[in-house]
Chains A and B, each alone.
Chain A
Amino acid sequence: MTAVTWSQVRFAHPDGRTALEGIDLEVAEGDLVLVLGASGSGKSTLCRTVNGLVPHTSGGRFGGVVTVMGRNTSTNRPRDLADVVGFVHQDPEAQFVVDQVEADIAFVLENLGTAPDAMRRRVEESLDALGIAHLRDRSPSSLSGGERQRAAIAGALAAAPSVLVLDEPTSELDPQGADDVLAAVDRLRDDLGTTVVLAEHRLERAGPLADQAVVLEAGVIESRGSVREVLPAYVGAAPVTQLGHLLAWDPVPLTVREARRLAGTMPSPALPPTAPVEAPGDTLATARNLTVGHGRTPVLDDIDLDLGRGEVVALLGRNGSGKTTLLRALAGMHTPSRGRLSVDASVGYVPQNPNALLFAPTVEDELTETLRLRGMPDGGQVESWLQRLDLTALRERHPRSLSAGQRQRVAVATVAVGGAQILLLDEPTRGIDPPSATALETALRDHRQAGGLAVMATHDVELAARVATRVVVLGDGEIVADGPAADVLAGSLFAPQVLRVLPPFLTVDQVAAARGGPATGPRPR
């Protein structure tokens, strides 16, 4: 039976921008459907049509018919569909209504007038289904990102909806939190037969779970089908899928395990020529015995570090390991409690939350404002950074009207346009789409080649593999590993996907380059 049907659906925002055009789609009951596409392609809008948020709360022009479990969303408001559709936002914190996990989960049941006994049972089941029974009395604001998102899903699940819609639920999470959330979603699909509509960028984990995938491009369905049909040609596919596509493996793998099996039976490219490790240029920042924070457990403890020109340094480590604190110390926002930190160049700091920077009426004004604040004339820097970060077409848009990925690029351009030699980026690719990530990576490489230094705190080992020249791993405020990216990542349990399948290749690009090079030899072991 069909759970959700879109029939000739079109939608334009109140300002006239088209968001969806001619959408015809059906989702079978119990399926997990991935909604893919670049930022601004219409993924969120499509998700929001499922429970009628579009058009009931969005305004704009809406056409066509969306039916959910036989109910037309045009004649049923979101609140009327609360018993059949559970909706989870990208930002979990924005959707908690009550300051206690258990009471928040019960919110939907109170609104539905659920009988007392059933209400109690549903809350318990929801807590168990998401594995958060131990968090029942906690305040959502005191939870980690992954716990918070699971609590938000439990809040949507309590009404036992037939359809669960998740709009980029892992975009704000670290890899462990993302794993927990996606595992919980998979369990719901398997155990309860819940239909899941999932908009997601992290396909390393979400790809193998899905039954079908839909790719949107400028509001139109570009391709659809099973994940094995759709993902290989998708630009944001997991590295292991891109690798299989490049090497024409059949079937194209979705997981590292599948890829390893195939790699053993297929011819592999030759080893890449050993690239000499470039020595960093002049030292721009030096830390000696750097300790930040007070008390028995300082956030950074006795750090020694030299950072030079021409480096892109990736800071890896779990949440709370001190990555952000190190960046903030370099930016002069934390005073060392012990040791010495000298920074001999101008610094630009891009915070984790791009919204903290954006206030001007247009993207272009936002960049110009930085120059004005720093008393610098515009010698073409604004245009240059708009181009580098692929923002030229968005220059007249209000920054707040942009998607998460586009806002992140604007924030980076806003800081970088000031000409800082040291760029500090905190989780620069968190929640952003593949084209935005690519633009950002290119900008970082350009900055490095121009003699600048970039330091980024990230959980994304694939990003580190693609762009970093050096990787520093932090653990409990101490440096656990420090060296060239290839060396540090090669010895890691959480190595990039390609490295785990075809060592010592780190990225798909390296494999492609090797294939275009000398004769193909046996796969290196």
Chain B
Amino acid sequence: MAVQIAPSPLYVGLVVLICFLLVELHRTDRVLSRAFPVMLGLGVLFAGIRVGLTVLTTHGLGRTVLVTLPEATLPRLLGGFTVGGPIEATVLAQAVADAVPVIGVMAAFGAFNSVVAHHELLRSAPKAFHEPALVVTVAITLVPATMRAFQDTREADQARAGRAGRRGRITRTLLPVLETGMERAVALAESMDSRGFARRQATTTERVGSWFVLFGLSMVAGAFVALVAREQLLAVVLGATGALLVLVAVIVSSRAGDVTRYRPRPLTARDLAVMAAAIGAPFGLAMATALGDTTLTWVPGSPVQAPSVGIGPLLALALLLAPALVPPASTVETARRPHDRAEVVSR
């Protein structure tokens, strides 16, 4: 969210650096530990494509021409615009300014998945979210297997077909990967069934909770529609009621049923402090926006002006360093204490 509020390349660069630092400090051996470089690479790729397309097709916004490429005008059927020609500094700078937030968002997502132990999140989630969170955790275990299957298949095909077999390689690679993924998914479903998953029938309270969630989410969606239609009062009423219904459903569902959880990990003061800091960063940036800080967004102009930095946004972004300064509570410390070894709630 911080990246969306402060899309200036300097601030986004700072966010990426903080992500890198956190990944280096809290690296794990989990399946997604390499998510940060992969997602960062994807972000750079997407941003590069966007910048490339923009500078090749946008002309006439600035006076400084960096280089002049051969140009071609596409047929009217394909848009009729000109590709190539003069590459202008202003266009390049504006394209970079527009594309950089993508890198920041991807880096933050990758860093989160690199350092987080998803099974610990599962233990910390409210009981009402246990099964959805479990589904996400299970899906994550399929990622490395799929990546390995993709690599194996590509290499096997290269060895089988040689250089002559480039045509159709995508099909020959994707089909075995998809089929292996299907087989794996079936085996996993059987394993979960064999180990008693979904053995318990949902209680009446849980069913009522589910309906509450459905109604609540529908009302939140209605609030967005009302906002689009500029019915602000209706949007507030719908949004507040929907949020309240979801909250009630979570509380009710969490108290229902006799599901036991192994070594639940309640949120500690340190966890809450880090979460507060993470929320504080975009909040601080929003405050800076309200106070009229002009450094958050970079408008290159013509001739191109360098982006500037404000002390307020820097202080707000510094809050993102909280996970580096406050080490996460160890699972061993929190969960092996006798009183919270396991949790059971009976009606």
Measuring CB to CB, which residues of chain A are less than 8 angstroms from any residue of chain B?
A: 51, 53, 56-57, 77-80, 82-83, 85-87, 89, 91, 93-100, 103, 106-117, 119-120, 123, 137-142, 155-156, 159, 331-333, 347-349, 351, 353, 355-359, 370, 373-375, 400, 414-415, 418
Contacts and interface: CB of A to CB of B under 8 A. Distances in A.
B161 A106 contact: no
A348 B159 CA distance: 7
Contacts of A370: 160-161
B194 A82 contact: yes
Most B Cβ at <10 Å: residue of A56, A89, A414:
A89
Contacts of B164: 373-375
Nearest to B154: A356
A83 to B, nearest CB: 7
B117 A83 contact: no
A97 B133 CA distance: 12
B188 A97 contact: yes
A123 B47 CA distance: 48
A85 B194 contact: yes
B150 to A, nearest CB: 9
A99 B188 CA distance: 13
A348 B161 CA distance: 9
Residues of B contacting A: mostly: helix
Interface stretch (B103-111, B179-187, B225-233, B248-256): B179-187
Counting contact residues on chain B (CB < 8 A from A), the size range is 35 or more
B196 A108 contact: yes
B193 A53 contact: yes
Interface string B192-204: 1111111110000
A53 B259 contact: no
Given A103-B119, A356-B149, A356-B155, A77 B342 contact: no
A415 B158 CA distance: 12
5 contacts: A57-B190, A82-B194, A94-B184, A155-B195, A359-B175
Contact of B260 (A94, A103, A114): A114
A359 to B, nearest CB: 4
A355 B194 contact: no
Contact of A400 (B134, B144, B179, B188): B179
By Cβ-Cβ distance, the 4 closest A-B pairs, closest first, are A116-B342, A82-B196, A111-B196, A95-B191
Interface of B: 28-31, 117-119, 122-123, 134, 137-138, 140-141, 144-145, 149, 152-153, 155-162, 164-165, 171-172, 175-176, 179-180, 183-184, 187-200, 258-263, 331, 341-344
Contacts of A79: 193-199
A373 B259 contact: no
Contacts of A348: 159-160
A139 B196 contact: no
Contacts of A351: 152, 155-156, 159
A111 B188 contact: no
B161 A374 contact: yes
Given A115-B344, A414-B160, A94 B117 contact: no
Given A116-B342, A374-B162, A414-B160, A353 B193 contact: no
A109 B199 contact: no
B195 A156 contact: yes
A373 B122 contact: no
A99 B31 contact: yes
Contact of B200 (A99, A113, A373): A113
A88 B231 CA distance: 58
A111 B199 contact: yes
A358 B262 CA distance: 41
A355 B179 contact: yes
Given A110-B262, A333-B155, A100 B197 contact: no
A35 B117 CA distance: 40
B262 A119 contact: yes
Contact of A357 (B140, B157, B192): B157
Nearest to A82: B196
Contacts of A94: 183-184, 187-188, 191
Contacts of A114: 260
A29 B117 CA distance: 41
Contacts of A120: 262-263, 341-342
Contacts of B183: 94, 355, 400
A92 to B, nearest CB: 10
A323 B119 CA distance: 36
Contacts of B331: 137
A280 B304 CA distance: 72
A414 B187 CA distance: 26
A110 B260 contact: yes
Nearest to A347: B159
A359 B172 CA distance: 6
Given A95-B187, A97-B195, 12 more contacts: A79-B199, A83-B196, A94-B184, A103-B122, A107-B195, A116-B260, A123-B262, A156-B194, A357-B160, A359-B171, A370-B160, A375-B164
A141 B144 contact: yes
Given A94-B184, A331-B159, A53 B342 contact: no
B199 A139 contact: no
B194 A87 contact: yes
A96 B197 contact: no
Given A109-B262, A112-B199, A333 B158 contact: yes
Nearest to A122: B262
Scoring B30, B160, B198 by chain A CB atoms within 10 A of each residue's CB, the highest score goes to B160
B341 A418 contact: no
